Amino acid sequence: MSKMTRRSFTQSIALSLPAFAGLGRTAAAQTPQKVQIGLLVPLSGIYARPGTVMRMGAEMGIADVNAGGGIKSLGGAQLELVVLDCGDTTEKAKNAAQRMVAEYPNLVAASGSYLSSFTLAVTEVTERASLPLLTLSYSDLITERGFRHVFQTSATAGAQAEMALPTILRLAETASGRRPRTVAIITDNTAASIASTKAMKERLLAQHGLEMVVDETFTPPLADATPLVQRLRARRPDLFFFLPTVISDAKLMLEKMAEFNLRIPTISFGIAIAEPDVLNTVNPRLLNGVMSAVANWGTKGQEELIERLRRTHGEPWMTQNAISTYGDIWILQGALEKAGRADRQGVSEALRTLDGGPARYFPGGEIRFDEKGRRVGAGLTIIQWQNGVPVTVFPDNLALARPAWPTT
Amino acid sequence: MATLRSLTPLFVLALLYLGVSLLVQNSYYQLMLTLVLVWACFGLSWNVLSGMTGLISFGHASFFGLGAYTTVLLANQFNVSPWLSLPLATLIGAAAGLIIGLPTFRLRGHYFALSMLAYPLAMLYVFEWLGYQEVTLPLKRENAWAYMQFDDHRAYVMIALVMLLVMALLTRWVERTRFGMALIAIKQNEAAAEAAGIDTLRWKLRAIALSGAMAGATGSFYAVVLLVVTPASVFGMLVSAQALTVTMFGGVGTVWGPIIGAAFLIPVGEILHAEFGARFPGIQGVIFGMAIIVVILLAPEGVFWRVRDWLRVRHWWRARPGGASPPASAPAAAHAEPTHANVVSFARLRPVSDEAILEVRHLSKSFGGLKAVHDVSFKVRRGMLLGIIGPNGAGKTTLFNLLNGFLTPDRGEVLLRGVDMGGKAPHVLCQAGVGRTFQIMRPFRRMSVADNVKVGAYVRAGSEAEAERLAAEAIARVGLSAIADRPASGLTTKELRLMELARALAGQPEMLLLDETLAGLGRQEVEEVLDTIRGIADEGVTIVIIEHTMHAMVKLVDEFVVLDHGAVLVEGRPDAVTRDPKVIGAYLGKKWSAHAQR
Q: What ranges in B277-302 are assigned the alpha helix state H?
A: 283-298
Q: How far is CA B594 from the centre of its chain?
A: 50
Q: Give the E-state strand segments of B391-517 in sequence order.
A: 411-416, 419-420, 434-436, 511-515
Over residues B350-368, the mean pLDDT reads 82
Q: Does the pLDDT of residue B199 top 50, yes or no?
A: yes
Over residues B141-165, the mean pLDDT reads 91
SS3 content of chain A, % helix, strand, coil (to 5): 45, 20, 35
Of the candidates A117, A128, A189, the beta carbon closest to that of B134 is on A117
State whether residue B506 is helix, strand or coil.
helix
The pLDDT assigned to B270 comes to 82
Contacts with B60 (C-beta within 8 Å, 6 or more apart), sequence order: B42, B45, B46, B49, B50, B116, B120, B211, B215, B239, B240, B243
Q: Name the closest residue on chain B to residue A189, using Cα atoms.
A: B128
Q: Does the pLDDT of residue B238 top 50, yes or no?
A: yes
Q: How many angstroms away from the CA of A124 is the closest CA of chain B? A: 7
Q: Can you spell out the DSSP letters for B181-192? A: HHHHHHHH-HHH
The pLDDT assigned to B26 comes to 87
pLDDT grade for A127, boundaries at 50, 70 and 90 = very high
pLDDT tens-digit series, residues B303-324: 888 888 788 777 766 665 444 4
B537, amino acid identity: A
Over residues A247-272, the mean pLDDT reads 90
The pLDDT assigned to A309 comes to 93
Q: Name the closest residue on chain A to residue B138, using Cα atoms.
A: A145
Q: Does the pLDDT of residue B337 top 70, yes or no?
A: no
Which chain B residues contact residue A13 at CB under 8 A?
268, 271
A240, amino acid identity: F
pLDDT tens-digit series, residues A58-113: 999 999 999 999 999 999 999 999 999 998 888 889 999 999 999 999 999 999 89
Q: Do B233 and A89 touch (CB under 8 A)?
A: yes
Q: B189 — contact with chain A (CB < 8 Å)?
A: no
Q: Do A120 and B228 touch (CB under 8 A)?
A: yes
Phi, psi for residue B556 in degrees, rounded to 5: -110, -50
Q: B114 — contact with chain A (CB < 8 Å)?
A: no
| B2-311 classified as CATH 1.10.3470 | yes
The pLDDT assigned to B574 comes to 83
Q: Do A116 and B230 touch (CB under 8 A)?
A: no
The pLDDT assigned to A292 comes to 92
- Which residues 248-267 in chain B show a CB within 8 A of chain A? 267
The pLDDT assigned to B587 comes to 66
d(CA B61, CA B59): 5
Which chain B residues contact residue A219 at CB under 8 A?
125, 128
Which chain B residues contact residue A96 at CB under 8 A?
273-274, 277
pLDDT grade for B590, boundaries at 50, 70 and 90 = low
Arithmetic mean of pLDDT over chain B: 83
- Which residues 290-349 in chain B show a CB within 8 A of chain A? none
Q: How many angstroms away from the CA of B283 is the closest CA of chain A? A: 9
Which chain A residues contact residue B285 at CB under 8 A?
44
Q: How many angstroms away from the CA of B143 is the closest CA of chain A? A: 15
Instruction: Report the DSSP beta bridge partners of residue A390.
Output: A385
pLDDT tens-digit series, residues B262-274: 998 888 888 887 7
Which chain B residues contact residue A89 at CB under 8 A?
232-233, 236, 238
Over residues B478-505, the mean pLDDT reads 85
Q: How far is CA B479 from the centre of its chain?
A: 25
Q: How many angstroms away from the CA of B460 is the closest CA of chain A? A: 50
Q: Do B276 and A12 touch (CB under 8 A)?
A: yes
Q: Does the pLDDT of residue B10 top 90, yes or no?
A: no
Q: B275 — contact with chain A (CB < 8 Å)?
A: yes
Q: Do A189 and B128 touch (CB under 8 A)?
A: yes
Q: Do A103 and B282 touch (CB under 8 A)?
A: no
Of the candidates A12, A120, A128, the beta carbon closest to that of B271 is on A12
Q: B408 — contact with chain A (CB < 8 Å)?
A: no
The pLDDT assigned to A14 comes to 44
Burial class (CB in 10 A: 0-12, 13-18, 19+), B534: buried
pLDDT tens-digit series, residues B89-121: 999 999 999 999 999 998 877 889 889 999 999
Q: Do A145 and B136 touch (CB under 8 A)?
A: yes
Q: Do B26 and A48 touch (CB under 8 A)?
A: no
Q: Can you spell out the DSSP letters for A8-73? A: HHHHHHHHHHHHHTTSS--PPP--TTEEEEEEEE--SSTTHHHHHHHHHHHHHHHHHHHHTTSBGG
Contacts with A240 (C-beta within 8 Å, 6 or more apart), sequence order: A183, A184, A186, A232, A264, A265, A266, A267
Q: What percent of chain B has pLDDT over 90?
A: 21
A357, amino acid identity: G
Q: How many angstroms away from the CA of B281 is the closest CA of chain A? A: 5
Q: Does the pLDDT of residue B393 top 90, yes or no?
A: no
**ipTM strictly over 0.85?**
no
The pLDDT assigned to A27 comes to 42
Q: For an interface test with B, which of A99, A127, A217 has the most B Cβ atoms less than 10 Å from its Cβ?
A: A99
Residues B211, B46: contact at Cβ < 8 Å?
yes
Q: For an interface test with A, which of B27, B34, B129, B134 has the most A Cβ atoms less than 10 Å from its Cβ?
A: B134
Q: Does the pLDDT of residue A143 top 90, yes or no?
A: yes
d(CA B10, CA B130): 42
Instruction: Report the DSSP beta bridge partners of residue B356.
Output: B381
Over residues A155-182, the mean pLDDT reads 86
Q: Does the pLDDT of residue B593 top 70, yes or no?
A: no
Arithmetic mean of pLDDT over chain A: 87
A338, amino acid identity: K
- The domain ranges of chain B are 2-311
pLDDT tens-digit series, residues B527-541: 888 888 888 888 888
Domains, chain A, ranges and CATH?
28-155+302-353 (3.40.50.2300), 158-294+381-394 (3.40.50.2300)
Q: B282 — contact with chain A (CB < 8 Å)?
A: yes
Q: Name the closest residue on chain B to residue A2, using Cα atoms.
A: B287
pLDDT grade for A3, boundaries at 50, 70 and 90 = very low
Q: How many angstroms away from the CA of A406 is the closest CA of chain B? A: 34
Beta strand pairing call for B370-381 and B356-367: antiparallel
Q: Do A98 and B28 touch (CB under 8 A)?
A: yes
Q: Name the closest residue on chain A to residue B32, using Cα atoms.
A: A95
The pLDDT assigned to B98 comes to 95
The pLDDT assigned to B54 comes to 84
Q: Do A22 and B281 touch (CB under 8 A)?
A: no
The pLDDT assigned to B588 comes to 59
Which DSSP letter does residue B199 get? -
Q: Name the closest residue on chain B to residue A51, using Cα atoms.
A: B278
Helix (H) or strand (E) holding A74: none
Q: How many angstroms away from the CA of B277 is the closest CA of chain A? A: 6
d(CA A26, CA A32): 17
pLDDT tens-digit series, residues B422-480: 778 888 888 888 888 876 666 777 778 888 888 888 877 778 888 888 888 888 888 88
Burial class (CB in 10 A: 0-12, 13-18, 19+), A383: buried
**Residues belonging to chain B:** 598
Residue among A299, A275, A286, A308 at smallest CA distance from A360 = A299
d(CA A163, CA B488): 75
Q: B232 — contact with chain A (CB < 8 Å)?
A: yes
Of the candidates B27, B133, B137, the beta carbon closest to that of A194 is on B133
The pLDDT assigned to B166 comes to 95
